[in-house]
C-alpha cells in the first residue's frame, strides 16, 4: 500500500538530504576542530635518525598538519639498524607505515619484493620536477620510481683538528694519499701514548671500501648485479687497514668490533679516536656538543688522483604498497621535498636538499656543523661522480658479512687471504639466493 505513497518518498528524500547536510556539517566541524571524524585520515611516517633530526622533523610535520587539516601524521624513529629490524617485522605482519624512510642499499630489495608503491604514476605520484634526474635514478628500479631522495650526501673524512694540530699531524689537503693518512694517524696515537688513536679502524665498513675501489675504477656491483671486485682487492684493502691497526694508528680489535653505527659505540664519539670516515649528512645542529669537540671535513685520501666519492641519495622516502592512504602519503612526501617552509625547518638535517631551489635557500641560513657540511658539499661538488645504480638483493647481507669477516682479521683468527676468500664465498651466496 505504502509503496505508492509519494509524499512519504519525498519526506524520506528530504530526511536523507538533511541527514547528509548534517553529516557534512559535522565532518566540516571535525576538520576545523582537528578532532577525528569520517573524512580525516591518519597516516604513519617512520624514519631513522637522531634526536636532532627528530626535533626538526616534528616541527615540519606540525606545519604539514596545519596546512592539511584533514591529515594527521603519526611518526616514530629509531637508529638505523633498529629501524630496519622493526620495519621488516612490521611489513611482514601487514602493519607497514604509510610513508617510510628507505635506504639506497635496500631499495631494490624491498621494491623487488613488491613492498613499495610506485611514485611516478598512480595514486602515490609525487611531483619530482625539482629533484635532479641523477638522484632520482638512485630510487629507480626497472624503470619505475620507488624511492625519492629528499637529500643527497657524500662520503667524507672528518678529523678533530685541534688534536691533530697538537700532535703535529699534517692536516689533509687536496690530493693527500693513504700513506699520508697513516702517517698523520700514527702521530696522534704516538703523541697520546695510544689513549687517543689516530683513527677508528674502518677496514670492516664496506662503504669506505667502496670509495677505495672506485678510486681504482672498480665498483661494488656491476650493472647486472654481480660483485665488481675479487678476493684480491679485499685482501689488499684489509692489508692496508690491518697494517694501521698493527702499528697502533687505528683502534684495537676490542673497540673496533663494537662499532655498530650507533653513537654510543663509535670510538670517535667516545674520544678514543680522533678521526674517521662517515657521511657528511651525519653532521647535524648539535653534533659538536654530542661529540664534545669540533671537526673539520676533507675528501678521501687517494693514490690515484680520483677521490672515488659520489653524490649519494642520503636516503629516500617511499610509500608502502599496502597503504590505504596513498594520495595523502604522497602529499606528505611532496611537502617534505618541495615546500619552501618545510625546507627552512628541515635545513641540512637529512643532508643537502635534493630540490635545487630549496638547497639554495637553505645554504644562506646555516650555521654550526650543518654549515660545515654544506661548505664541504660545495667544495667537492665538481669532483663527485654520479651514484651507481641501486645495489642488488642481498646487498645488506653482504655489507654485514664484510664487517663480520673483518673481525677474523683483527682478532687474528685467520690470515688476510683466508678471510678475503671466505668473505667472497659468503657474499656470492648472499646475492645469488
Partner 1 sequence: MAVQVLGSRDVVRASRERQRRRYGERPGIAYLFLSPWVLGALLLTVGPMLGSLYLSFTDYDLFTTPEWVGLENYRNLFTDDSRFVAAVWVTVRYVLISTPLKLVAALAVALLLNRASRAQGFYRSAFYAPSLLGASVAVALVWRVIFGDLVSSPRYALLVIVALAVWQFGAPMVIFLAGLEQIPQELYDASAVDGAGWWRTLRSVTLPMLSPVIFFNLVLETIHAFQAFTGAFVISSGRGGPIDSTLFYTLYLYQKGFNEFRMGYASAMAWVLVLVVAAITAVLFRTARMWVFYAGEDR
In the complex, the residues that contact partner 1 under the rule CB under 8 A are 81, 85, 88-89, 91-92, 109, 113-115, 253-255, 257-258, 260, 262, 265, 394, 396-397, 400, 404, 407-408, 411, 413, 430, 433
* Other CB atoms within 10 A of residue 30 CB: 17
d(C-alpha 38, C-alpha 168), whole Å: 68
d(C-alpha 105, C-alpha 228), whole Å: 15
Least spacing, CB of residue 253 vs partner 1, in Å: 7
User: Which is nearer to partner 1, 60 or 259 (by Cβ)?
Assistant: 259
* Other CB atoms within 10 A of residue 37 CB: 14
User: Which is nearer to partner 1, 390 or 394 (by Cβ)?
Assistant: 394
User: Which is nearer to partner 1, 61 or 91 (by Cβ)?
Assistant: 91
Least spacing, CB of residue 397 vs partner 1, in Å: 5
Outline where DSSP puts E strands in 264-391.
Answer: 275-279, 296-298, 310-313, 316-319, 352-353, 385-386
SS3 182: helix
Whole-angstrom Cα Rg for the chain: 26
> 151-153 and 310-313: which strand pairing?
antiparallel
Least spacing, CB of residue 24 vs partner 1, in Å: 40
User: Look-up: residue for cell 677508528?
Assistant: 200
User: Which is nearer to partner 1, 264 or 382 (by Cβ)?
Assistant: 264
Least spacing, CB of residue 186 vs partner 1, in Å: 23
How remote is the C-alpha of 188 from its chain's centroid? 31
Least spacing, CB of residue 399 vs partner 1, in Å: 11
User: Which is nearer to partner 1, 174 or 254 (by Cβ)?
Assistant: 254
Bridge partners, 101 (sequence order):
317
User: Look-up: residue for cell 678521501?
Assistant: 300
User: Which is nearer to partner 1, 62 or 260 (by Cβ)?
Assistant: 260
- Check: CB of residue 316 under 8 Å from CB of residue 111: no
User: Which is nearer to partner 1, 26 or 263 (by Cβ)?
Assistant: 263
- Check: CB of residue 284 under 8 Å from CB of residue 101: no
Bridge partners, 313 (sequence order):
152
Least spacing, CB of residue 411 vs partner 1, in Å: 6
Least spacing, CB of residue 115 vs partner 1, in Å: 5
Least spacing, CB of residue 96 vs partner 1, in Å: 10
User: Which is nearer to partner 1, 368 or 396 (by Cβ)?
Assistant: 396
User: How many degrees, rounded to 5, is the angle at CA 278 between CA 274 and CA 284?
Assistant: 90
Amino acid at each position: 500500500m505504502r509503496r505508492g505513497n509519494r509524499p512519504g518518498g519525498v519526506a524520506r528524500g528530504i530526511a536523507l538530504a538533511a541527514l547528509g547536510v548534517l553529516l557534512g556539517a559535522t565532518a566540516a566541524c571535525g576538520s576545523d576542530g582537528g578532532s577525528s571524524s569520517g573524512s580525516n585520515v591518519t597516516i604513519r611516517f617512520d624514519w631513522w635518525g637522531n634526536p636532532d633530526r627528530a626535533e626538526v622533523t616534528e616541527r615540519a610535520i606540525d606545519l604539514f598538519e596545519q596546512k592539511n587539516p584533514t591529515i594527521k601524521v603519526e611518526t616514530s624513529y629509531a637508529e638505523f639498524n633498529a629501524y630496519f629490524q622493526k620495519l621488516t617485522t612490521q611489513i611482514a605482519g601487514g602493519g607497514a607505515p604509510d610513508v617510510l624512510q628507505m635506504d639506497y642499499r635496500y631499495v631494490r630489495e624491498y621494491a623487488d619484493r613488491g613492498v613499495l608503491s610506485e611514485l611516478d604514476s598512480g595514486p602515490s605520484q609525487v611531483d619530482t620536477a625539482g629533484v635532479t634526474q641523477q638522484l632520482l635514478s638512485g630510487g629507480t628500479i626497472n624503470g619505475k620510481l620507488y624511492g625519492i631522495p629528499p637529500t643527497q650526501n657524500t662520503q667524507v673524512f672528518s678529523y678533530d683538528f685541534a688534536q691533530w694540530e697538537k700532535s703535529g699531524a699534517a692536516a689533509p689537503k687536496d690530493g693527500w694519499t693513504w700513506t699520508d693518512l697513516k702517517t698523520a694517524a700514527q702521530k696522534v696515537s704516538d703523541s697520546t701514548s695510544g689513549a687517543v688513536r689516530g683513527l677508528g679502524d674502518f677496514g670492516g665498513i664496506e662503504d669506505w671500501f667502496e670509495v677505495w675501489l672506485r678510486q681504482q675504477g672498480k665498483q661494488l656491483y656491476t650493472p647486472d648485479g654481480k660483485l665488481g671486485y675479487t678476493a684480491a682487492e679485499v685482501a689488499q684493502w684489509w692489508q692496508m687497514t690491518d697494517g694501521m691497526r698493527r702499528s697502533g694508528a687505528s683502534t684495537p680489535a676490542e673497540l673496533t668490533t663494537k662499532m655498530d653505527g650507533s653513537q654510543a659505540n663509535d670510538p670517535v664519539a667516545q674520544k678514543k679516536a680522533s678521526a674517521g670516515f662517515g657521511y657528511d649528512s651525519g653532521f647535524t645542529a648539535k653534533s659538536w656538543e654530542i661529540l664534545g669537540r669540533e671537526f673539520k671535513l676533507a675528501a678521501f685520501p687517494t693514490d690515484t688522483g680520483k677521490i672515488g666519492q659520489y653524490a649519494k641519495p642520503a636516503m629516500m622516502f617511499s610509500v608502502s604498497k599496502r597503504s590505504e592512504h596513498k594520495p595523502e602519503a604522497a602529499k606528505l612526501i611532496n611537502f617534505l621535498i618541495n615546500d619552501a617552509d618545510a625546507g627552512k625547518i628541515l635545513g641540512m638535517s637529512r643532508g643537502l636538499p635534493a630540490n635545487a631551489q630549496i638547497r639554495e635557500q637553505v645554504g644562506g641560513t646555516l650555521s654550526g656543523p650543518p654549515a660545515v657540511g654544506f661548505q664541504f658539499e660545495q667544495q667537492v661538488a665538481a669532483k663527485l661522480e654520479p651514484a651507481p645504480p641501486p645495489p642488488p638483493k642481498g646487498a645488506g647481507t653482504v655489507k654485514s658479512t664484510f664487517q663480520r669477516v673483518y673481525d677474523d682479521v683483527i682478532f687474528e683468527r685467520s690470515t688476510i687471504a683466508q678471510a678475503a676468500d671466505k668473505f667472497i664465498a659468503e657474499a656470492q651466496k648472499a646475492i645469488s639466493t
